[in-house]
Structure formats: C-alpha cells, structure tokens
Structure 1
Amino acid sequence: MKGRRAHYLAAAAPLVLVLAGTSAGATDTLTSPQVSSLTVVAPQDDAYKVERTGTATRTDTPLANVPQSVTIITDEAIRDQSMRSIADVVRYVPGVTSGQGEGHRDAPTLRGNSTTADFFVDGVRDDVQYFRDLYNVERVEVLKGANAMIFGRGGGGGIINRVMKKANWATERQAAVELGSYSLRRFTADVGQPLAGGFSGRIVGVHENAESYRDFVEVERWGLNPSIGWRDDRLTVVASYEHFEDDRTVDRGIPSQAGRPSAARRSAFFGDPDQSFAATRVDLLNLAVEYQLTPDLVVRNRTLWGDYDKFYQNVYPSGAVGSNGMVNLAAYNSRSDRENLFNQTDLVLKADVAGLNHTLLMGAELGRQVSDNVRLTGFFNSTSLNMPVSLASPTRGGVPIAYRPNGSDANNHVVANAAALYMQDQVEITPELQLVLGLRYDSFDLDYRDNRSPARFSRKDKLWSPRFGLVYKPVGALSLYASYSVSYLPSSGEQFSSLTASTAGFEPEEFKNYEVGLKWQPSPVVILTAALYQLDRTNTTSPDPANPNRLLLTGEQRSQGFEASITGQVTSRWQVLGGYAYQEAEITRTTAAAPRGRQVPLVPEHSFSLWNKVELTPMFSVGLGVIHQTDVYTSISNAVKLPSFTRADAALFVRLQERLEAQLNVENVFDKDYFPTSHGDNNILPGAPRSVRVGLRTSF
C-alpha cells in the first residue's frame, strides 16, 4: 500500500430507472426438485425477485412458507447498483444498518443488535472480522430475528448469508472492468463450463485498486475462487477454494464536537496514514456433497475449512474536539489468526404421515475454531498514550510510536469446540395452513489461555434453541405468519474475547424474537412483505447496586418495530427493490454499558430506500435510487447524534452490442454532506461526495 492516497414513510420516492437490457437472469440454487437445495438453476426475467431459499429452513422452501422476515439481494441488483461490500447491500435491507467497523471490518446492526460475527457462507459460519467482497456472490440473504435453530449460537438480531458462485453445469462467460472517481480500477471475471463425464468447472476472480474521497486512504484487494463439480442421477459433489487478500488504509473518520460531527473537512484524515493499515488474508475450502437416496429422501454434507490471517494498526481520534480546537490521537495494533473447521450433515425427508405432509429435517454440526490474538498499545515518543492535533491540521506523520503491552491489551489463545443436533418439521396441516417446529441442541466448549499470565478460563454451554412458526394462506397469493424463536450468545462474546475470571460462570445472553407478518404476491413477478416484531435481549451484564465493581446478569434490551419491502417487476419494463423500517431499540433494564432508557446506537427510527429500474428502449435503461435515514446516536452514551440524511443515486445502462454493455453509476447525485455511520462517538465517517463509476461488461 502507498501512503497517500413520529411515524412517517418518506413522502415520496423518485422512481428510479435502471438497466433492463443488462440482466442476464437470476439463478436460484436447487438440485433435485423433490427435497434438495444444493445446486442450480433456472433463469428468470424478474432479476431482483427470488421465490425460494434453502437457507432459512435448511430445506428448499418457498419464501412464502418461511415464517420470518427475509431479504434477498440478487447478483443482478448488486451489479446494477455497482455494490462492492456488505455495507452497500444492507442499504436496501429494512431493519439493518452498517457500522463503520473501525475502518477494517463489516459491522452491521440487525434489529438493534450490532455484530461482527453473524456471517455465513452457504449456510456455514464465517465469523472473522474483515471486509467481504461481492465478486463471487450469487446473492446475499439477510434473515432477521433470532436464528439459532438453523445457525447455532449468536444470530440474535439476524444473520447475513452469502450464497457463492460455484460450478453449476451452466456456461458462464463474463468479464467486466470498472473505472471511477478516486482512481477506482476494478476487474472481475466469471468463467464456467460443463465438462465431459458429468463434471463442471467455474472460476471467478477480482482485482481492485482504489483511492478515496478521504485523504491518504486507499485499498487494494484481489480474490480467486475456482470450483469443480461432478454429478450423476443421484449424487452431486461440488468443491471450491477461495483465496482473498485485502490491504487498505484504516480510516477511523472524524471526531465529534458539541454532540455533533465536527466541522472537519469531509476529506480530513485524523492520525498517521503510514501507521494506519490493515492486511487480511482469507483461504476458504468448501466441499458440498448431496445424495438423493429416494425421490423423497436426500442426505447432504458440507465441510468448510477457513484460515484467516489479519493484522491491523491505526492512529485515530480518541476523543471529541476540545474548546481549544485540539483533538487527542491514540494508537494500537492487533493481530488475529483463526482457523475454522465446520462439518454439517442434513437428512431431509418428505413423507405423508396420518394424512399430513411433512418435510422433516434432521441434522448434526461439528465445529472447531482455534484463535490467537495479540493487541498492543501505541505510545507516542515512547511515553505518551495520546498526541494532540488541531482540527485544522489533524494529519500527523513521522512521530515515533512504540507498540507494547498495556493494561487493556490482549495476548491469548482460544479453542472453541461446538457440537449440535437439530430437528425441524414443516407440516402441511391443510393446503392453507402450515406449521414449522424446530429444536436445536448446542454443546459449546471454550478454553481461553492468557499468554501474559498463568490465567486459564473455560466455559461450557448447553444451549436449547426452539423455533415455532405458523403460516396461513387465506388466498393463494397471500401468506400470513406468526413465529417465535430463541438464540443464545455465550458469555465469551461473539469473538471469544469477553471471557474473564468474573464472566466465565455467567449464563449466556438470551434473545427472544416474536414476529407476525405477511408475504403477498399481487402478481407473479412482485413480492410485498411486512413484519411486526419484538426482540428481547436478556442476561446482559449490569453493575451490582451494592457493589459497582461486581457484575450481575440483570441487564435487558428491547427492539421492536415494523418492516416492509417490495421486490420485483411493477411492469415488464420497471423493476423495483426497496423497503421501509420503523424501529425502537432501547435499554429496558440497566446494563454495564448504560442505564435504563438509553437508545441503542445506529438504529434510525425511520429508514427508507428505493431502487427502481426502467427500460426506456431495448438499447437504453436509466436508474435513480433514494436512501433516507433519520438521525441516530453514535454510541450507547447517547451523547452524539448523526443528523438525518437523504441521498440520491442514478444510473445509465447502454446495450452496445448483443454481448457488450456499458453502465454509468453516480452516487450522491446532489453532492449532499451527510454522515451515514460511525464507530462510537469520535470515529464518525463522512459520506462520500458525488462519485462516478463507469463500467464495461462483456459476455463471450
């Protein structure tokens, strides 16, 4: 890396026009039509709409029969809006916002619960802190509410699952180049080919270099993801391997001033860019096997091995702007190495018992995660924990910084072993009434060794996670549902770093989600959804009133709200993707972080997004999107607010030839100043000014 570089729905949204001619068609992942959900494919003209999922229930299920809120962003929607990150995706997912993640990781907030670990690849855990690229993604599925019955520990507010591109016995020939503001250069390729003897191969790749609207900030990343598959009439095997590297400047944004974002320049970098960087290396090996024993019985096994190597270092604003116009900088670095190994086996049986149709899922999961973590504090000129800089001149380079252990730092080795059994029955009581019942048992054992002392802690949790859902279809196009589900987060925390002598004996945090909703398909190509929910988080730590130095498990948080979304084709030339969310999330009983009544950060009361695409002619399509968010607190202190904002985006698509297409994306068309997110009160990320990206894509 180089160094420089009150309840309302938004009044009306401009109708957006986007490319119609470039959509080659969404692909869904289905192998055997009877019960399976492993592989492949049916082209669709309605490129934003997905009607089925194999993730939400671990069986091939129509979305109309899933008793929870699910938002799916397809490859076509990702491509049309030139999305490159999870943060880009969740802009169009109601009830989800993206945190700044200290400038080096994905950090969404789902229904008021911030997470860095609730990520999955093809339904298997991918819980390391890094920025995920979308170059090899078929679609991104966001399942909201407590999801432990399907995914295990965590997932209290929801999970984000990436369905990956892999060998699918279809011919794929695509390459694209994208150039844009701030020296963006991005190249992607996707080549797939059916082969002789039942084999199929595919390789997907990306390389990107970019600078930023932020001074001195740049990123370089590349990834390569080959896969190979083999199948006969009953057996399907797909193996894939991904190597991904991401090198970037760690940008922690700007500090606050008098309870608002400071008056710093939008581009101003606070800290030392030469000592603020992150390097991530990810290797993922994915093996999926599916055997169709009978037309109504299938066995699946998936193994995911992941090796993650990450180091980051940053110099950043550690406090608000003082009355003298000065800001303190602090510094630290961190290395995290993790190796994951997960194996899942599912048996799916369709049967008629006592006149009722059942889809029965029985499964087991084994997992082992080994982590090594080292964190060191930076001392300026070898002695001071802080260095003051002025608001007018916040970039400071060349100051010697010594990194060494301090009281709050870490040097630990963690081994987590998990084993789970689960069972689920989807019962068709009548053609109009369906029942979903599920129960999962997790055994989660964690051993924690502090390398700085003789201290060793261990924690064993036995977790029972139920799921209940009822789906009623008064008419064929309308589904009404009610659901109840429970998730748990062990006291070690989502990244295993919270275990101490005092917390090792604590019960896990508990998440209970109550939800009612509907899914309506007024036409074959449009889906409308709505959900009303309450999510209670209990067993959070709180100070003992009699002894503030002692922690108790009496803290509570409640999130409740309403979500609505629309996806599909309004007309043959007009496609839409959008949603609205009304949310309230607050501390309901005092926790270790905040007293009762505090609002949860990064949860806007109202948020709205809409992306439409309209084909003007067979050659031209245009687009316009709108994103609106009311003000949010930056942290649980409720001391700093980010103001509300509305942003408009636009696009133009041109079919130059049958296999050659061009597109122009303009982000923040009206060049508005806004602040979309933060990490705490003094790491506030200014929004990008007007940015332009031009792409050329070919099929061959």
Structure 2
Amino acid sequence: MSQKTQKVQAKKKTAQAVMFGNARGLVAMGTLAAYAVMGANRPAMAAVWKIDPSGNGASATLPLKRFDIAVGPLDAAIEAYEKATGLSVKIVLPNGTLAGFNSHGVTGLYREDEALRLLLNGTGLNYRAEDATTMVVGVQAKDTVSVTSAVPDSISMGKFTEPLLETAQSVSVVPTFVLQDEGVSTLRDTLRNVPGISLAAGEAGAQGDNLTIRGFTARNDIFLDGIRDFGSYYRDSFNYEQVEALEGPAGIQFGRGSTGGVINQESKVPQVDKFVHVDTQFGTDLTRRITADINSPIANELGGAAFRVNVMAQEGGVAGRDAAEIRRFGFAPSISIGMDTKTRTTLSYMHLSEDDTPDYGLPWLFNKLAPANRHSYFGFPDENYLKTSDDIMTLKVEHEFSPSLNLHTIARAANYPRQAQITEPQICSNAGLSVPVGGVVTSLPTLAYNSAITCPYTPNTPASEITQLNRNQIQVKSVEGDLWDQTEVVARFKTWKMRHDFVAGAEGGQEISNPIRYSYTINKINTVPETTLLNPNEDQPFGGTGYITSIVHTKSKSVGLYFLDTIKISKFFELSGGIRWDRFDTDYNLAAPTPPAGGTVTAAVAPISRLDEQPSYRAALVYKPSTHGSVYFDYGTSFNPDAESLSLSVGLVNGNVKPEENESYEGGAKWSFLNDRLLMEGAVFRTEKDNAHETDPTNSNNIVAAGNQLVKGAQFSVVGRLPEGMDLVAGYAYLDNKVIFSQYFPTSVGYPLANVPTQTFNLFVTHRLPLGLNGGVGSNYVGSRTASSTVPYVPTGYAVNPNGPGFVVTSVAMKQVPGYWIFNAMIKHPLTEKIEFQANVNNLLNRYYIDLPHPSHLVPGAGANAIIGVNFKF
C-alpha cells in the first residue's frame, strides 16, 4: 500500500467520525477531500460524500416533496432542484466541468437528499449536507471505488432514454474495469462475460467474429456506436469505452436481425481532463502488446474542445497452437468541439489492420473430434494468411434545443477489405441428413480429399491409420463497406400530467459486399497435397491449382423509420412502446469465370433483386417498487430478410420466400445495492423464430420458409464495484432450445440448435490482498453444443440394404463438442502512484477443449498462458 493511500485512509477514518447535525436531520458520514493535479492548470477535486445508508435516524424523517425535473444537462437539473427545495447547492468542481454531465432527472415524491442522489446517479458525482441550507456536490474519490470506472447505470445510445434499472430488457454492460482486470484484448473475449452468448468459428466465406445470442446467430448484429459494424474481421478492444450486450427483442432500435439480441461497441471519445495511459503486455505465448490512450483539451475558445487518440500494436501466438500468429495494429484519433455548448460535435476515425497466420484447428471424425494431437497444425504457415485493413470514419453531432429537446445525428463511412487463405482439415464428407437407425441412405460418406471414393474410415479408426487428411483451402478476396446516417430526436414532455420520454428516428444508407472465391478441386480431387492425421508436415511446400469459382457483387439500400415512447404513468409504473418500419432492397449478381478442365464453378446468376418491407413492434411495462429496483415485462418482434448477410440465391427470389419472423417475450427484475455499487438482474424469456429458411439438400435453388425454432430460458447477472478493491462480474444462463418444425429436415425436430449450450456460466472477482496486492480469480463454463440445426446427429454404422439399393443405418451419434470449464487468475500491484504491475494467467489448468465449433472444423481453445504487463498513468 502506498504512503499516499495510507494517508488518505487515515483521513477518511478521521472524517467519518464527524457528524453533521442541523434542523433538517442528521447526516451520518463526513467528508474526505483528496486533491490531485492532472495536467497543466486543471486541478481535480475528489471527495467521498455519503448520506446515512442505514435508513435510520433523522434523515428518514425528512418531509417528502414532489419533484418534476426532466432528463437533461446536470447544471439545469440542479437549478430546478434548488427552486423545488429552497436549498443552495455548492459545486466543488473546476469551472465549466459541470456542463459535461447529464442527469436522468427525477419525478415523483422524494426526500430532498434522495432526490439529489437520483439527479447525480450515473455521473460519478455525490453529495453531502454542509449545513441546514446547503448541499455540496463533488467527485467521488479513488477510495476503494474507481473514479473513472463506476458500475455502468446507462446505455450509451440516445435511443435508450431510461437508466439501466428502468430499461425493460436484459442488458449486460461490460465496463472498462472488467476488461482491465481480465487483460482482455478482443471483443470475443469481452463477450465471455455475458451469459447467454456462445462463440463459434468463422465461416468459409466470412471470417471474423461469429457468435450466437440466446440461441440465434448474431454474426450480423454487431454494432459500433449504434450503427451496424458490417465488416468480417476480428474486433480489438483497444478503443472501447464499454461493450453493451442487449439480449431479447431489439428490432425497434436496430432494425433487421437482432433475433436474440445485439452487441454494441461504444468507442472512447475526448474528455475534459488531460491524461495519458500506456499499457504494455508480454506473454508466454510470445505476445507483445502495447496500447496508449492520450487525451488533451486543446481550446477553450471553441466552446470547449479536446483531442483523444488510442493506439495499439500487437504481435503474438496462441498457446498450444504453435503455428498460429496474430499481428494487429490500431489507430483511433477523435476530436470534439463545443463540449461546453448546446451543439457538440465529435469526429472520429478508426483504422484496424490485421495480418495473421490463421488457424482452423482440427478435423471432425464423423460425430466427434478426431484423435489428433492438440498442437497439430494442418495448414501451410508460409501460405496461409488472413489480412484485413478496416477504416471507419464517424461524425456525431448533437444539438440541445432545451433540456427537454435534443437532436443528434451520426454519419459513417466504412471500408472493410480482406484477403484470406486458410486450410480447413477434413477427413470424411459431412452427412447431408440425419437418418435414424433402420433408415436407408443411397450412398456412404466420401473421402474429403477425393469425393469420388467412399471414406475408408469409421468413428473408431485409430489415428495412425488415418493417412488421407484433406487440406481444404478456403480462399477469398473481398471488400465490404457501408455509408450510413442515423438521426434521432429525443423529447421530454407531459400530457395529462404524465411524463413522456419520446424518441423518433430515421436511418438509412447502403451496404456493399464484393467477394471473389476460389477452389483447388479438379475432377473431385483436391490438388493441394493431402497429409496424415498424426504427422502433418507444416514445412511441406504449398502446391495446387487454384481458380476463381465466383465473383459476386451485392448492394443493399435500406431505410428505417421508428419511434419509441416511455410514459411515466405514476411514480411506480412506466409504459413504453414503439413501432418501426424497414425497407431493405438488395441487388445481387454472380459471375462465373471459365474453370480449368475438370474444375467446377458456381453457376452464374444474372442480376436479381429482392425487396423486403417489414414492421417491428415493441411494448413493455415497468413497475418500480423502489428507487433501487424495477420489475418489467417486455414483448417485441424482429425479422431477418432474405439478403440479411448481403447474399441472395435464385431460390430466394423465384420462390418469393418471406423473411424470417421472430417474436420474443421477457419478464425480469433489476436491483441495485450498496449505494448503487452492485447491480443485479434476472430474467425469463421465450423467443420463437417462424419461417426459418431451409434449403433442399438435393436442390440448392429450392428454398422454403418453413422452419420453426424455439429458445426459452432464464438468465442472471451481477456486476459490482465494492469496498476493499472488490470488482465482481458474474452471470448464468439456461437455454432450452430446439427445432419445433422442419420441412426438409424432420429428424431434427426436438434437437438443439447449432452452437447453443444449454448452460453457460461466467465469473470474475477481484479483492484487495496483503502487501498492497490486488488479486482476482475467474471461471467460465460452456455446456456441450451441437454442430448443426439441420443435421444434429450423423450415421456411424451401415449395412447393405437387403431389400434394395442403398445402405441401412445401423447406428447414429450426436455430432457435438463436449462442455468445458476453464479457470483464470490475476494479480496486480501499484509500484508507484502512476505505475502498476499486472499479471494474468489464463486457462490455469491447461484444459484441452473446443472453443469455436463449426460443422466442418473445430478450433481448440488456447492452452495455459501468462500475460505480464506494466500500466502507466500520467
């Protein structure tokens, strides 16, 4: 423990012995003032201010007063508070600082102290009573709770007008302090802190982050600052302020998709204080990573302006996967002007490039992981690559007409080029159908390397006898991009003495995708050399005849109009609802070049178009029995258009296939404890997908909207910043998921959906230790998952059909990966007031598990590894 920390704690104990008595009641806790200087001429005052938390004593007898203070700037809210109470509020902050805060407002009957607490909720500020007529407002000190990283109590996007406690939806906010404690560097690892989310391997034509939320794919439901982040790339956390996982109905706010929910990444933006943070990491897996976060005010004559830049560079490997390499660089500058005015503007840019040696892991052997060596790499390290170079420019403008009327717009231009050549290890071909025991199949599985011959292996074949392992080459070159604008107005007003928080918005733009795909198969034989399961030769020279199989051009133009209104019916009840209308218009064409002799290309598709227009609905009721909690019920719809992922087929257009339609119900409760330092929430839910698209396994142009899928379950989560350096994030989800109807795959009915574990659990908790140390431990559990919703089990044994052609299935098995537990640990120690040492150990027990499943390959999780770093703050 540093000398300064010891002095601060001693002062705190002395101050807490002081009791303030006056005609308005007894204020139980005294004050602690700690002063720090951050940058030139910018003094920052820090103080912990507390009102008697016991609820006993004179404070409980203060008279109730009626308040009607709108959501808006904090300075205006405090003025309204002074008029309503007759009290004087003293602000102990640098001049102009208060203008950077917003208040959630307060409406209803409250004690004067409770009303002020609600006004300050979420600002990082707190208060004390100085005398009978004066309340003092200041900044929380770094006592045992971080000044800059409190428990999140709101969603960053303007379309969500209510604090988290009153938002009728499961929302998991992963704040900065969690990312720092866990040493997280990717979106993928960030989301391990959210119950109900499971991760999957990249697809053949689209690499990058792939996940399911509450049982349904959310690959296209990843947003950046409220706008869809369409690119196929692996997202880095270096420029995150926080990550928000909104589970349940979200069609009103986000448009197409959002069946199980959405992920929003909130970017860092300029702040009023000057600071420099530099973090370094060095790992046993050869990781070398450095990030810098630099913020500086630049001009007062522009109404308050600041500049911020975040930079990241990383090189490293993956523990247990010797050939895999990660190389990333990120650069994200931003500038804000008018920070102290009614018109605030932020221009930001993010560049993230990646040049990896990718890893598609290990092969299946019918229904399970093939008996391969955990460390085996079946590709060509010198020839396999994944290169992305993403550029995202964003402009945000917000104008405040009054505390009750706000207009904001966000415009974006993004470009996502990528090139990939990845080796996918395969043994036998995938089964096209799940055929039960006693059923007849017309042919046996073929060898993946040469699909003209029957696979000679069985599920019990020893690894030493698998000598023909296919190296399927997934090669693609593509550019995705979008131009988008989203404009919203937020208004707060009253009708018939009921307060409304009203949001209306319009958004639209265009998205493009232009992939070029390749193949190395000629006359049903892969021209890339095969290898063996036990002894793949990583140094073998790459060879093969590659050729282009398709050149695709897709452009989608879309527009969405929506409104949401939250009505404060009384102090205890809120009713909200909204409607959205989306128009999604897609043009698609596919060119097929002439293949070499024996080669096969995708059939050319003349320009085709598809137009979908669809409404979405939402309604919710919130009951607030206390200012610290709420109970809610929520209903919502969403839809998945045919070209959601910017891909079309003749079957979708000619068959006039309807969009997939989703309907969700959710009931839950949220509660805060310990002076809002601990937030807990739980929910039960039910989501059903109708018109699920199915492709005829015998004719890919025959597509129907005839499937039905159901997920119902419950989840619980908690996040807290508690005394004694205790940070806590935990969650549990139970998902009862299954196919309830299928036209082309009737044997899948009753079986689980793809990549959906029945149970998931996450925990990470830190606590202060002796000798000035702070330690943390955590764990993750992911239940078993199936590989496919249409083919959940595969035949594993056959006999010649005595009654005709084909083969009788004699045995079947579920095609799934087992569940797993992993454990992590962290320890950190301040070396000085500005330098901190931190070490993280991941997968402490070196568990061998499948982290990212795919129907055609399996990616194991990283083995045991340690990350050691030094963090600098100036």
Taking a change above 3 Å as real, the CA distance of residues 92 and 455 of structure 1, as seen in their structure-2 partners, is: same
Taking a change above 3 Å as real, the CA distance of residues 156 and 127 of structure 1, as seen in their structure-2 partners, is: same
1:33 and 2:102 correspond: yes
1:633 and 2:786 correspond: yes
Task: List per-residue Cα deviations over 1:170-225 (Å, max 9, x = no partner).
Answer: 32310011000121000100000112222110010000000223131101110100
Q: Which runs of 5+ in 2 are unaligned?
A: 1-43, 47-71, 74-99, 106-121, 125-138, 429-456, 593-603, 793-813
Pairing of 1:447-458 with structure 2 (within 5 A) = 447-452=587-592, 453=604, 455-458=606-609
- Alpha-carbon separation, structure 1, partners of 2:201 and 2:389: 20
Pairing of 1:99-248 with structure 2 (within 5 A) = 99-102=200-203, 104-196=207-299, 197=301, 198-213=304-319, 214-231=321-338, 232-248=340-356
Which amino acid letter does the alignment assign opposite residue 564 of structure 2? Q
Taking a change above 3 Å as real, the CA distance of residues 290 and 545 of structure 1, as seen in their structure-2 partners, is: closer
Taking a change above 3 Å as real, the CA distance of residues 593 and 186 of structure 1, as seen in their structure-2 partners, is: farther
Aligned to 2:672: 521
Aligned to 1:89: 190
| Corresponding residue SS for 2:623 | strand
Which amino acid letter does the alignment assign opposite residue 280 of structure 1? T
- Alpha-carbon separation, structure 1, partners of 2:863 and 2:612: 48
1:684 and 2:684 correspond: no
Aligned to 2:752: 599
Percent identity between matched residues is 27
With CA pairs under 8 Å and 6+ residues apart, which has the higher RCO, 1 or 2?
1
Aligned to 1:98: 199
| Corresponding residue SS for 1:64 | helix
Aligned to 2:715: 563
Aligned to 1:17: none
| Corresponding residue SS for 2:252 | helix
Aligned to 2:568: 428
1:325 and 2:466 correspond: yes
- Alpha-carbon separation, structure 2, partners of 1:546 and 1:374: 25
Which amino acid letter does the alignment assign opposite residue 500 of structure 1? V
Per-residue deviation, 1:376: 1.0
- Alpha-carbon separation, structure 2, partners of 1:589 and 1:296: 49
Q: 1:644 aligns with which of 819, 824, 838?
A: 819
Which amino acid letter does the alignment assign opposite residue 33 of structure 1? N
Taking a change above 3 Å as real, the CA distance of residues 688 and 359 of structure 1, as seen in their structure-2 partners, is: same
Task: List per-residue Cα deviations over 1:604-642 (Å, max 9, x = no partner).
Answer: 111111100101258210111111222222333224222
- Alpha-carbon separation, structure 2, partners of 1:112 and 1:566: 21
Pairing of 1:526-565 with structure 2 (within 5 A) = 526-542=678-694, 550-565=702-717
Aligned to 1:363: 505
Task: List per-residue Cα deviations over 1:574-612 (Å, max 9, x = no partner).
Answer: 221010011122111115567322211221111111100
- Alpha-carbon separation, structure 2, partners of 1:545 and 1:329: 24
| Corresponding residue SS for 2:514 | strand
Pairing of 1:188-587 with structure 2 (within 5 A) = 188-196=291-299, 197=301, 198-213=304-319, 214-231=321-338, 232-257=340-365, 259-320=367-428, 323=461, 324-326=465-467, 327-379=469-521, 384=526, 387-395=529-537, 397-406=540-549, 410-452=550-592, 453=604, 455-492=606-643, 494-503=644-653, 505-523=656-674, 524-542=676-694, 550-587=702-739
Task: List per-residue Cα deviations over 1:388-414 (Å, max 9, x = no partner).
Answer: 4211113453141222134xxx31111
Taking a change above 3 Å as real, the CA distance of residues 621 and 511 of structure 1, as seen in their structure-2 partners, is: same
Task: Tell me which structure has the larger Cα radius of gyration.
Answer: 2
Per-residue deviation, 1:544: 7.7
Per-residue deviation, 1:276: 1.9
Aligned to 1:668: 843
Q: 1:49 aligns with which of 151, 155, 159?
A: 151
- Alpha-carbon separation, structure 1, partners of 2:360 and 2:700: 32
User: Contact 1:35–1:296 at 8 Å: present in 2 too?
Assistant: no
Which amino acid letter does the alignment assign opposite residue 646 of structure 2? F
- Alpha-carbon separation, structure 2, partners of 1:547 and 1:237: 53
Taking a change above 3 Å as real, the CA distance of residues 262 and 384 of structure 1, as seen in their structure-2 partners, is: closer
Per-residue deviation, 1:132: 0.3
User: Contact 1:382–1:400 at 8 Å: present in 2 too?
Assistant: no
Aligned to 1:658: 833
Taking a change above 3 Å as real, the CA distance of residues 48 and 298 of structure 1, as seen in their structure-2 partners, is: closer
Per-residue deviation, 1:471: 0.7
Per-residue deviation, 1:151: 0.8
Per-residue deviation, 1:387: 4.9
| Corresponding residue SS for 2:692 | strand
Which amino acid letter does the alignment assign opposite residue 478 of structure 1? G
Taking a change above 3 Å as real, the CA distance of residues 592 and 334 of structure 1, as seen in their structure-2 partners, is: farther
- Alpha-carbon separation, structure 2, partners of 1:53 and 1:358: 19
Per-residue deviation, 1:84: 1.2
Per-residue deviation, 1:564: 0.3
Which amino acid letter does the alignment assign opposite residue 269 of structure 1? Y
User: Contact 1:102–1:252 at 8 Å: present in 2 too?
Assistant: no
Coordinate RMSD, CA, aligned: 2.5
Q: Which moved more, 1:388-397 or 1:378-387?
A: 378-387
User: Contact 1:316–1:331 at 8 Å: present in 2 too?
Assistant: yes
Aligned to 1:3: none
Taking a change above 3 Å as real, the CA distance of residues 287 and 405 of structure 1, as seen in their structure-2 partners, is: same
Q: Which moved more, 1:362-371 or 1:280-289?
A: 362-371
Taking a change above 3 Å as real, the CA distance of residues 502 and 489 of structure 1, as seen in their structure-2 partners, is: closer
- Alpha-carbon separation, structure 1, partners of 2:860 and 2:495: 59
Aligned to 2:777: 624
Taking a change above 3 Å as real, the CA distance of residues 415 and 582 of structure 1, as seen in their structure-2 partners, is: same
User: Contact 1:330–1:385 at 8 Å: present in 2 too?
Assistant: no
- Alpha-carbon separation, structure 2, partners of 1:593 and 1:120: 33
Task: List per-residue Cα deviations over 1:18-68 (Å, max 9, x = no partner).
Answer: xxxxxx99xxx99562679xxx9647736462111133x714421011111
- Alpha-carbon separation, structure 2, partners of 1:416 and 1:35: 38
Q: Which moved more, 1:508-517 or 1:570-579?
A: 570-579
- Alpha-carbon separation, structure 2, partners of 1:268 and 1:412: 34
Per-residue deviation, 1:461: 1.1
Q: Which moved more, 1:145-154 or 1:494-503?
A: 494-503
| Corresponding residue SS for 2:359 | coil
Which amino acid letter does the alignment assign opposite residue 203 of structure 1? V
Per-residue deviation, 1:91: 1.2
User: Contact 1:284–1:306 at 8 Å: present in 2 too?
Assistant: yes
Name the one with the larger strand percent: 1
User: Contact 2:588–2:648 at 8 Å: present in 1 too?
Assistant: no
Which amino acid letter does the alignment assign opposite residue 482 of structure 2? N
Normalised to the residue count of structure 2, the TM-score between the two structures is: 0.73
Taking a change above 3 Å as real, the CA distance of residues 250 and 593 of structure 1, as seen in their structure-2 partners, is: farther
- Alpha-carbon separation, structure 2, partners of 1:572 and 1:426: 38
| Corresponding residue SS for 1:430 | coil
| Corresponding residue SS for 1:657 | coil
User: Contact 2:527–2:544 at 8 Å: present in 1 too?
Assistant: no
Task: List per-residue Cα deviations over 1:478-518 (Å, max 9, x = no partner).
Answer: 211111111111111x3212332444521111111111111
Normalised to the residue count of structure 1, the TM-score between the two structures is: 0.90
Name the one with the larger helix percent: 2
